[in-house]
Chains A and B, each alone.
Chain A
Amino acid sequence: MVHAGAARAILAGMQRIYLDNAASTPLSPAVREAMEPFLGESFGNPSAAHRLGVEAAAAIDAARELVAKATGSRASEVVFTSGGTEANNLAVLGGSRARKELGRHLIVGPTEHASVRKAALALEDEGFEVEFARLDAEGALDLDHFAELLRPDTVLVAQMLVSNEFGSVYPVRQLARLTRARAPHALVHVDAVQGLGKRELSLGELGCDTLSVSAHKVHGPKGTGALIVRDGVQLAPILHGGPQERGLRAGTENPAGIAGFGRAAADAAAARPATIARFTRMRARFCELLDRLPGAKLLEPGTPRQEIMPGIITTFLPGVPASVRLHHLDQAGVLASAGAACNAKRKDVNPALLAAGLDAEDSRRVLRFSLASSTTDEELDAALRVIEVVHQQLQAVRS
């Protein structure tokens, strides 16, 4: 019998080990420094003509350059928003409405974030028809099915780049090419919130029209994101008011958030090769642990046809439900999350889980551990030991 205290003792000097970076990341010191002037002395409205306004506007321009570089776009293509949700809403609602004379058919990816899915469904009230792409039996995006969905009156296609649930990297480029051929009026939107700093982002390479990113997934502040809108692509604004952000996003800009985002995006992009190498190594360590735990599985739907972003490690751990295991891990100092796919209230099991051979009951036992470029080897070592000890503890109790 393992003592409850045993798991807690592993952390020794460490306060906690944070492995929920797909949900949010800690602010980096460099980002905080970039933000500070605009939380203090430099409080001007960026639209103002006086020196404080000019200062704030200059900071926004500089950040715009950095975000453009990190996303493979031009500064003129960056529209700052309040985050990923607003960026997705602007693309889906604004892109569809601007094309409503050309058609009213939308195609939404099978695992899109609610801010894409629900925005699209909200358009049903405006006479749009929404269809969903699907995953195939192996959990990869079903491109044949997708191609069948495309129609001449399709005006918007939305597909995420990196799955927040499994780290799956979807074949966005192929999807964009299929779309161009069969639905020439369609706007191709890519939610790249989990891709920034992990995949090379480029409007040209991905072949998309709009791309959403968020600051707080890359050590930036919450409340700031951007929609990259390829030059010449028409969108209808969803917020009406002043002329900020080329009229696409009314409202006084958030200079502190934007300055922080610029720094965060640049740092994330620069560190990307090192980050991915580190993630790959750490993922392998995780796999070694899972091999030791009977019945445990690493969930990698769609591989090897689809790549996996190695920083999101989604696991099936047999035994108690994920929520119970999470509280035990939390008590021992390791912070993770239940798989987003594993909402017990949702009746239909995520197809990616079915593909991995899991049923509805199993889906309540899926945990997601997500890494950051700041995760250290010592932290990972300790976390793996905690996960193992907690597992033994939970196996020891009769359920």
Chain B
Amino acid sequence: MTNFDASAPEMVLVRYGELALKGKNRGMFEQALIRNMRSACASISPLRVEQRRGRITVIPERRVGDVARRLQDVFGIKTVSPAWGAEPTPEAIAEIARLVLADALLDYPPGVEIPFRVRSSRSEKRFPLTSVELDQFVAPRALEGVSNVKVDLKHPELTLGIEVRTERAYVFVKRLPGPGGLPGGTLGRVLCLLSGGIDSPVAAWLAMKRGCHVDFVTFHSYPYIGEASKQKVVALVRALSRFQAECRLFVLPFTEVQEAIRDNAPPPYRTVLYRRMMQRLASRIAQAQRMKALVTGESLGQVASQTLENMACIGAAAELPVIRPLSCYDKEEAIEIARRIGTFELSTLPEPDCCTVFMPPKAVIKGRLDVCEESEALLDVEGLVERSLAGVEVIDVAG
């Protein structure tokens, strides 16, 4: 009798996409991917990781299903397949294949015919059958007593995979999607300006997906906004730590900056000037931490402060390149991602952010850089920056 537990696969096959193409750097990307996989699963199980031919095999000590689920959040991974082990003999493989297939078929409604095939690969060339022969041996045995499946080699919807190795064979059928992208951290570190809204966490996630290690900065204007607003941002960073095991949040006091702008600058320019100060403060932190760019959730035309003119005024205050992953996204597209990555519900909690403080009745639509600079000439910009930086609070969040 074969010992088979549908809920307890033996290992996880991981396929990665783009990074396999990266020529000389490939080794570095792969090492980073494996490191990130280990830290993503650190709280679940230690992993034994084997790497061969563009695939990674992960053999966790325990909780293989949970590991597979966790790996679906690791950037650089295209798909993962939980796999069940068998003795490397055609008969044992066919028996496990039958059970794995039967379990997978539970996901389909009865009465629908599913195109199906078997696809084997052998690294153990001494195995008695060739890959094609093994396909042909397994398929009829796996399909015994199954009525809603027909073999279709060209357009299968369900492909039963078999990997034969010297010591063990593995059988799988599900291919669960990973996020794709590049392994986290391989492109270097960046600092994301996080407001508490829908867009900035999505921007951070997109930057992570492209290989950035993202840390965060937020601006807090107590007591014009409350402690709950800060906690909301912390909760967002915690949600994002699902995708990056270690996240750091810098909280900068912003009250004095906003009061100074309110008291000295033309009211319509307040929002643009707040944001210029944010770019400046974020740049200082990023430079001190050797980060290479800023990330913002700005999106063209979404609110009055996000016209091309205003974005130019705001961007001019940054001392590092500014990445705006959402600049050409529609709101709906950003919301779709926010829902998928689990930040939407948090972002829509009704806590104000500091941009709402001293909101002028009318904000400038086409800001002019010379007006910004003239207004700032009336402020002690350096002093405001220094005092804010001196009041920094650092919050580390581990995923």
Chain A residues with CB under 8 Å of chain B are: 323-324, 326-328, 330-331, 345, 397-399
Contacts and interface: CB of A to CB of B under 8 A. Distances in A.
B263 A327 contact: no
Interface string B226-267: 100000000000000000000000000000000100110000
B350 A345 contact: yes
B223 A327 contact: yes
What does DSSP make chain A's interface, helix, strand, loop or mixed? Answer: helix
B224 A327 contact: yes
B227 to A, nearest CB: 8
Contact of A326 (B226, B259, B357): B226
A327 B227 CA distance: 8
B387 to A, nearest CB: 15
A330 B358 CA distance: 19
A323 B263 contact: no
A387 to B, nearest CB: 14
A399 B267 CA distance: 10
B33 to A, nearest CB: 44
Interface residues of B, number: 12
B225 A327 contact: yes
Interface string B340-357: 000000000010100001
B350 A331 contact: no
Contacts of B225: 323-324, 327
Contacts of A324: 223-225, 357
23 contacts: A323-B225, A323-B226, A323-B352, A324-B223, A324-B224, A324-B225, A324-B357, A326-B226, A327-B222, A327-B223, A327-B224, A327-B225, A327-B226, A328-B223, A330-B223, A330-B226, A331-B222, A331-B223, A397-B259, A397-B262, A398-B262, A398-B263, A399-B358
Q: 7 nearest interchain CB pairs?
A: A327-B223, A331-B223, A327-B226, A328-B223, A324-B224, A345-B350, A327-B222
Interface in B315-363: 350, 352, 357-358
Interface of B: 222-226, 259, 262-263, 350, 352, 357-358
Contacts of B357: 324
Contacts of B224: 324, 327
Contacts of A327: 222-226
A328 B225 CA distance: 9
A369 to B, nearest CB: 17
Nearest to A324: B224
A326 B357 CA distance: 14
Contacts of B263: 398
Nearest to B360: A399
B132 to A, nearest CB: 59
A324 B258 CA distance: 14
A324 B221 CA distance: 10
Contacts of B352: 323
A331 B227 CA distance: 10
Contacts of A328: 223
A323 B357 CA distance: 11
A376 B222 CA distance: 29
A399 B350 CA distance: 22
Nearest to B352: A323
A397 B263 CA distance: 9
Contacts of B358: 399
B148 to A, nearest CB: 37
Nearest to B350: A345
Given A323-B226, A324-B357, 20 more contacts: A323-B225, A323-B352, A324-B223, A324-B225, A326-B226, A327-B222, A327-B223, A327-B224, A327-B225, A327-B226, A328-B223, A330-B223, A330-B226, A331-B222, A331-B223, A345-B350, A397-B262, A398-B262, A398-B263, A399-B358
A30 to B, nearest CB: 32
A330 B223 CA distance: 8
A4 B357 CA distance: 18
A398 B259 CA distance: 9
B281 to A, nearest CB: 22
